[in-house]
Amino acid sequence: MTKHENLIGGKWVSFGNYHDNINPSDTSDVIGSYSYGDASSVDAAVEAARAAQPGWRNATPQARHDLLDAVGNTIAARKDEIGRLLSREEGKTLAEGIGETMRASQVFKFFAGECLRQSGDLQASVRPDIDIEVTREPVGVVGIVTPWNFPIAIPAWKTAPALAYGNCVILKPADLTPGCAHMIAQILDECGCPPGVFNLVMGRGSKVGEALITHTGIDAISFTGSVATGHHIAEVCGKSRKKVQLEMGGKNPMVVLNDADLSVAVPACLNGTFFSTGQRCTASSRLIVEAGIHDAFVDAMTKAVTDLKVGNALDASTQIGPVVDEKQLNSNLAYVELAKKEGAEVIGGQRLELGQTGFYQAPALFLGTNNDMRINREEIFGPCGSILKVSDFDEALAVANDTDFGLSAGICTASLKSARDFKRQAQAGMVMVNLPTAGVDYHVPFGGSKGSSFGAREQGRYAVEFYTTVKTSYIYAG
Ligand code: NAP
Ligand code: MG
């Protein structure tokens, strides 16, 4: 079986401690064996990154552009191979795996362009004969901690801006999905990334992650993952005054009004709730439906959900791949039981035995629910969605906003006024009109409000806020 090492200071390093990467569609398929590090591995990576920092921050925009552009091109050229690896290790369908791989390529190419578009402000002083320059500088060494559900896109959308703005990086991917992060490291190395500018340390959050967030040689932490881990990281980084950016969970509402076109609303809800096995932080988990369209919507949605084909991620006819692992599957199944206890009528949701050793679950629709139920308050992170019946727009908006989270919120309506009112009043970082709550562009900001996010936005030109710090220079030429 192929063994995979860590990238530290431009060298591939083994720490022993090999972990098998298992395919959730078929647990007899072992993708490879990955060497996991610990706190001393992080020390070595920080030393390498700090040594590389002065050179990289002074590298020309052209040199930074050329590296990121080459990485973007290489990922695109190898999209079928990388997409297949992604689907094997994470379980989303091959089409989704290749799509996510292309997204990573686009992100690297976008930030390649940003290398050439860095600028500052020149202002006149309020005092005579003085000019003021406001310029941006890299933060320094950035620790990146990523979840398993977008194993190539999230590492890409943190690594590419970090490097574009002159920072050095240490990436710790989720322990369930080291393969795609290793692939990014390999491609960066092959494309001529200078030693120490990008470092990969694989391993457990409790060891490698904890060492990164507590290390005094790291200036900033960008994290995507669960609320509990995010809160812990905020506390630790606050104490050591590290800059921190957190993208956490969601409990995203999708409102369907009486005037919605069902041929738009049903596919949007189906996609938003169940695609990628519901394992998206932007997934719609609360479908809030106005009374007049409720029964027709439930009929159409029930049929659409029951027709979804669950199967091996690599099978071309599969629409919904497996759940990522046994632990997540058991957690989802416990929520299905909870839904019944809380009085919901449950369609689907059972474990499926498909003649292969995988973690398959039928998509679950919870009918007749209300917003006080735990199934509507806690993030499930699986192929499960609730329907909540409401009497009018005002109640729909109130229910949509009655949550600790605020990542994405959607509405299906034919009314421009309702769409505008919802857009203005939804407490969420992203609002979707007649579109699924999940599925975003890469050149515009991504992030949420309330409990979903903390710190500067990710992606697009807004990424500059997190990955740089501002310097104000006064120049007297009298
Ligand atoms: P998680 O358990 O919080 O893990 C996220 C990352 O943090 C992993 O790399 C994990 O390592 C690491 N980690 C764990 N404990 C740590 C510690 N003490 N210090 C530093 N790092 C630590 O989340 P997950 O289960 O991988 O992902 C699912 C969650 O991510 C969901 O809640 C989902 O909503 C959220 N998510 C949010 C967004 C967004 O943009 N808002 C996007 C995708 C996913 P291990 O892998 O070793 O545990
Ligand atoms: Mg985890």
Residue 443 lies in a domain: no
The HSE-up count of residue 284 (CA atoms within 13 Å, CB side) is: 37
- 17: which 2 tokens? 């401690």
Answer whether residue 220 shows pLDDT above 90: yes
State the maximum Cα–Cα separation within the chain, in Å, rounded to a whole number: 82
Query: Which atom of ligand 1 lies closest to the CA of 176?
Result: 46
User: Are the C-beta atoms of 264 and 240 separated by less than 8 Å?
Assistant: no
Dihedral angle computed from the Cα positions of residues 453, 213, 152 and 70, in that order, rounded to the nearest 10 degrees: 110
When pLDDT is averaged across residues 288-307 and rounded to a whole number, the result is 98
Q: Are residues 174 and 196 in the same domain?
A: yes
Q: Which residues contact 300 (CB under 8 A, 6 or more apart)?
A: 262, 266
Q: Active-site positions?
A: 247, 281
Question: How many distinct structural domains can be found in the chain?
Answer: 2
Q: Are residues 123 and 208 in the same domain?
A: yes
Q: Are residues 378 and 392 in the same domain?
A: yes
Which residue of 41, 89, 149, 171 sits with most ligand 1 atoms within 8 Å of its CB, as the best mutation to test the pocket? 149
Query: Which atom of ligand 1 lies closest to the CA of 148?
Result: 26
Nearest to 393 by CA among 432, 427, 425: 425
Give the distance (Å) from ligand 1 centre to CA of residue 147: 4
CA distances for 238 relative to 35, 216, 242, angstroms: 31, 12, 6
Q: What per-residue confidence (pLDDT) applies to 40?
A: 98
List pLDDT tens digits, range 242-272. Answer: 999 999 999 999 999 999 999 999 999 999 9
Q: Which residues contact 334 (CB under 8 A, 6 or more apart)?
A: none
Average pLDDT, the chain: 97
Nearest to 104 by CA among 50, 48, 139, 146: 146
Q: Are residues 238 and 256 in the same domain?
A: no
Answer whether residue 300 shows pLDDT above 90: yes
Residue 471 lies in a domain: yes
Answer whether residue 334 shows pLDDT above 90: yes
Confirm or reject: Cβ of 225 under 6 Å from ligand 1: yes
Residue 441 lies in a domain: no
Q: Are residues 242 and 265 in the same domain?
A: no
- The confidence band for 184, taking pLDDT boundaries of 50, 70 and 90, is very high
Residue 438 lies in a domain: no
Q: Are residues 159 and 105 in the same domain?
A: yes
List pLDDT tens digits, range 31-90. Answer: 999 999 999 999 999 999 999 999 999 999 999 999 999 999 999 999 999 999 999 999
Answer whether residue 355 shows pLDDT above 90: no
When pLDDT is averaged across residues 393-415 and rounded to a whole number, the result is 98
Q: Using CA positions, which residue lies closest to atom 13 of ligand 1?
A: 205
56 pairs with which residues across the strands? Answer: none
Strand order in the sheet with 130-138: 121-124, 130-138, 468-476
Q: Are residues 374 and 334 in the same domain?
A: yes
List pLDDT tens digits, range 108-129. Answer: 999 999 999 999 999 999 999 9
Q: Using CA positions, which residue lies closest to atom 15 of ligand 1?
A: 205
CA distances for 181 relative to 135, 197, 421, angstroms: 32, 15, 41
- 339: which 2 tokens? 């839904």
Residue 446 lies in a domain: no
Handedness of CA 464, 226, 251, 266 (dihedral sign): positive
Q: What per-residue confidence (pLDDT) applies to 356?
A: 82
Q: What per-residue confidence (pLDDT) applies to 408?
A: 98
Q: Are residues 267 and 388 in the same domain?
A: yes
Q: What per-residue confidence (pLDDT) applies to 286?
A: 98
What percent of the chain is predicted at pLDDT more than 70?
100
List pLDDT tens digits, range 14-32. Answer: 999 999 999 999 999 999 9
Confirm or reject: Cβ of 232 under 6 Å from ligand 1: yes
Q: What per-residue confidence (pLDDT) applies to 378?
A: 97
Query: Residue 419: which CATH number?
Result: 3.40.309.10
What percent of the chain is predicted at pLDDT more than 90?
99
- DSSP-based three-state secondary structure for 256: strand
User: Are the C-beta atoms of 168 and 198 separated by less than 8 Å?
Assistant: yes
Nearest to 444 by CA among 428, 460, 430, 429: 460
Q: Are residues 458 and 400 in the same domain?
A: no
User: Are the C-beta atoms of 347 and 302 separated by less than 8 Å?
Assistant: yes
User: What is the span of the domain harbouring residue 420?
Assistant: 252-433
CA distances for 92 relative to 6, 113, 274, 405, 409, angstroms: 25, 30, 11, 25, 23
Q: Are residues 312 and 334 in the same domain?
A: yes
When pLDDT is averaged across residues 406-433 and rounded to a whole number, the result is 98
- 349: which 2 tokens? 């949701």
Q: Are residues 243 and 263 in the same domain?
A: no
Helix residue ranges, H only, 5-152: 39-57, 61-77, 79-90, 94-115
Which residue of 208, 210, 224, 453 sits with most ligand 1 atoms within 8 Å of its CB, as the best mutation to test the pocket? 224
User: Are the C-beta atoms of 109 and 174 separated by less than 8 Å?
Assistant: no
Q: Are residues 147 and 275 in the same domain?
A: no
- The confidence band for 100, taking pLDDT boundaries of 50, 70 and 90, is very high
